[in-house]
């Protein structure tokens, strides 16, 4: 690839997909990353380090390097002989790889789920119940005069979100310091709460109650209690009045809302609060998507299977059932007998019982880097890092698709996820004939 | 190990250092350091008789782990925090209540001083979890 300076590169870490990175490349190594956050810098400047060795197959507990052809043949053999394949991950790779993963799930009559089932899956369930009131990030910067982060810590999880979108001046907000207020609602005073204009602390697990109380107040009801979720009703009334009085409000919400008690009901209630507020003024809301292309995984899954996650092909046609075909449930019940893991690390992020079952089954792991899943995988295939070593497309948290450029060549004989998956798919087709 | 403990709710999530360490390598020392901590308020730390940096055992009905105690000056008693990763997962339940999503937030825990106890490495913890220990 071209040595020298690469401008307007899209960052492939979080759902912000910041598209203003400036990279310097020397001898096929990225040497500087201007504009990126601390995590972006770590990702881009260490792209060549800590790579997954292989392709490799584990035999009697010992990992043995093999050729790519042998690794693909082993993966095909494992999948072809599986009774209940689980295809999982996809949030840290590009859209074309997703397509191949869905084809494998369909061919093998397996289940395909993406990491949204353990991040914003409940957001999708809430949206399916109550609709979607999403805005573009540009609109947020240009118009919003009140921004609320609920159960989200952007300073840590999306380090440039505030700088680029909510603390930045826009067309109609010339001075964001005086014309825009930022509030944080959380159970603990996070670093983001420390830099916000107002921090509202609520008791753990009371999001649904607080949102429901706000809805009631916005609709003019009187509450017959003194406080909700640790907040006096007088405070809630004040919050509701300011929300109604905003010219353009935006609610950004994170895993504090989706992973806590209530889960999709929290999101359902939040959407309905936004709908209520739209009787008075303009409000929208947006999930703070974590992995850079988890939003893309939901989009591509919907395009190809009809459903955003938790899709089962056992009957030859796609069926959707979160709670049944979601990865943690499939593993916890001991149902999956093979896991094809792509660009994710369930061994580092799944709870104990689900992880325990991962130790009992064959895992085929595709990833550029070493991770915890690679330690227990039967087949490890190193792949190119999308957005650094191969191109592709990814979807930003507001639904905007962005093209990812290739800036350096991948290591020798290392291919993109989409190519490896296509080889597995072709092998499966051949095995069936 | 001390059997005089403190009850709290455990929450987990990303930290900047955890995110950065993850990109440097999940099997490296920095990642281990950043995910094997438990942030707590001063009252909780003192109630346990700990100095910041002392090991603390965090127990739930799903399991227990030893991590390094860390003072969070912004925090209040009742809520403690472990960055998302294998240590938090080791004591998290897998039940999703039909949603696909386990309860990663607000898990009832008991904290105990664990002076002299060792913090496991990532590989060691993984092996123990896979073996159901």
Span A395-411, average pLDDT: 97
CA-nearest of A178, A228, A176 to A201 is A228
Q: How confident is the model at residue A1 (pLDDT cuts 50, 70, 90)?
A: low
Question: What is the pLDDT at residue A2?
Answer: 77
Is B126:B26 a contact under the CB 8 Å cutoff?
A: no
Is A142:A113 a contact under the CB 8 Å cutoff?
A: no
CB contacts of B131 in chain A (<8 Å) are: 356, 359
Residue of A157, A205, A352 with shortest CB distance to B129: A352
Query: How far apart (Å, rounded) are the C-alpha atoms in residues A201 and A188?
Result: 7
- Best of B11, B12, B23 to disrupt the A interface (most A CBs within 10 Å) is B23
Span A341-366, average pLDDT: 96
Let me know the angle formed at the C-alpha of A288 by A282 and A293, rounded to the nearest 5 degrees: 125
Residue of B92, B100, B104 with shortest CB distance to A117: B100
Span A365-392, average pLDDT: 97
On the question of pLDDT at A369 being above 90, the answer is yes
Question: What is the pLDDT at residue B1?
Answer: 56
Q: How many CA atoms lie within 13 A of A333 on its CB side?
A: 15
Q: Which domains does chain A have, with CATH numbers?
A: 56-118+292-384+414-432 (3.40.50.1220), 121-287 (3.40.228.10)
Query: How far apart (Å, rounded) are the C-alpha atoms in residues A253 and A287?
Result: 5
Q: Which two tokens stand for residue A198?
A: 């107002």
Helices marked H in A145-293 = 154-157, 161, 176-179, 191-195, 207-218, 233-245, 255-258, 264-277
CA-nearest of A282, A361, A276 to A84 is A361
Span B89-103, average pLDDT: 93
**What is the radius of gyration, based on Cα positions, of chain B?**
14
Q: Which domains does chain B have, with CATH numbers?
A: 6-130 (2.40.40.20)
Distant-in-sequence, close-in-space partners of A354: CB < 8 Å, separation ≥ 6: A327, A328, A331, A332, A346, B94, B102
State which residue of chain A sits closest to B130, comparing Cα positions: A356
Question: What is the pLDDT at residue A432?
Answer: 81
Span A362-366, average pLDDT: 98
Tell me what ipTM this predicted complex has: 0.94
CB contacts of A328 in chain B (<8 Å) are: 94, 96, 100-102
């Amino acid at each position: 690839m071209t040595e020298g300076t690469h401008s307007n590169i899209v960052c492939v870490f979080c759902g912000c997909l910041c598209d203003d990175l400036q990279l310097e490349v020397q001898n096929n190594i990225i040497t500087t990353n201007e504009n990126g956050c601390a995590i972006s810098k770590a990702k881009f400047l260490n792209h060549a380090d800590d790579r997954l060795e292989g392709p490799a197959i584990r035999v009697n507990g010992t990992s043995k390097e093999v050729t790519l052809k042998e690794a693909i043949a082993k993966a095909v053999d494992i999948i072809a002989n599986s009774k209940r394949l689980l295809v999982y991950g996809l949030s840290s790779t590009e859209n074309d790889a997703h397509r191949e993963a869905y084809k494998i799930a369909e061919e093998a009559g397996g289940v395909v789920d993406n990491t949204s089932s353990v991040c914003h899956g409940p957001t999708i369930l809430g949206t399916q119940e109550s609709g979607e009131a999403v805005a573009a990030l540009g609109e947020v910067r240009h118009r919003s005069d009140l921004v609320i982060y609920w159960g989200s810590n952007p300073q840590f999880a999306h380090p440039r979100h505030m700088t680029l979108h909510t603390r930045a001046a826009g067309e109609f907000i010339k001075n964001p310091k005086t014309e825009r207020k930022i509030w944080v609602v959380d159970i603990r005073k996070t670093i983001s709460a420390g830099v916000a204009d107002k921090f509202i602390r609520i008791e753990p697990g009371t999001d649904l109650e607080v949102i429901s109380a706000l809805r009631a107040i916005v609709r003019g009801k009187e509450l017959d209690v003194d406080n909700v979720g640790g907040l006096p009703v007088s405070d809630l009334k004040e919050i509701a009045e300011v929300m109604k009085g905003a010219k353009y409000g935006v609610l950004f919400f994170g895993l504090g809302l989706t992973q806590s008690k209530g889960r999709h009901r929290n999101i359902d209630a939040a959407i309905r609060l936004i709908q209520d507020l739209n009787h008075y003024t303009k409000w929208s809301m947006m999930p703070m998507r974590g992995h850079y292309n988890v939003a893309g995984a939901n989009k591509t899954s919907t395009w190809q299977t009809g459903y955003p996650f938790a899709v089962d092909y056992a009957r030859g046609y796609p069926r959707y059932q979160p709670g049944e075909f979601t990865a943690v449930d499939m593993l916890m019940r001991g149902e999956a007998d093979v896991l094809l893991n792509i660009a994710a690390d369930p061994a580092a992020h799944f709870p104990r019982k689900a992880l325990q079952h991962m130790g009992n089954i064959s895992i085929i792991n595709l990833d550029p880097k070493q991770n915890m899943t690679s330690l227990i995988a039967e087949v490890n295939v190193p792949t190119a890092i999308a957005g650094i070593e191969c191109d592709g497309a990814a979807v930003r948290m507001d639904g905007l698709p962005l093209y990812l450029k290739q800036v350096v060549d991948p290591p020798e004989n290392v291919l993109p996820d989409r190519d490896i998956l296509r080889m597995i798919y072709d092998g499966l087709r051949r095995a069936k004939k | 190990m001390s059997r005089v403990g403190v009850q709290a709710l455990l929450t987990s999530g990303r930290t900047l250092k955890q995110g950065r360490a993850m990109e440097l390598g999940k099997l490296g020392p920095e990642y281990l350091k950043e995910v094997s901590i438990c942030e707590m308020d001063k009252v909780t730390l003192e109630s346990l008789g700990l100095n910041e940096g002392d090991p603390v055992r965090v127990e739930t009905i799903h399991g227990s782990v030893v991590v390094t105690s860390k003072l969070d000056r912004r925090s209040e008693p009742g809520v403690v925090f472990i960055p998302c990763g294998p240590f938090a997962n080791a004591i998290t339940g897998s039940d999703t209540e039909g949603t696909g999503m386990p309860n990663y937030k607000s898990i009832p825990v008991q904290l105990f001083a664990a002076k002299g106890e060792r913090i496991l490495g990532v590989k060691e913890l993984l092996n123990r979890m896979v073996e159901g220990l």
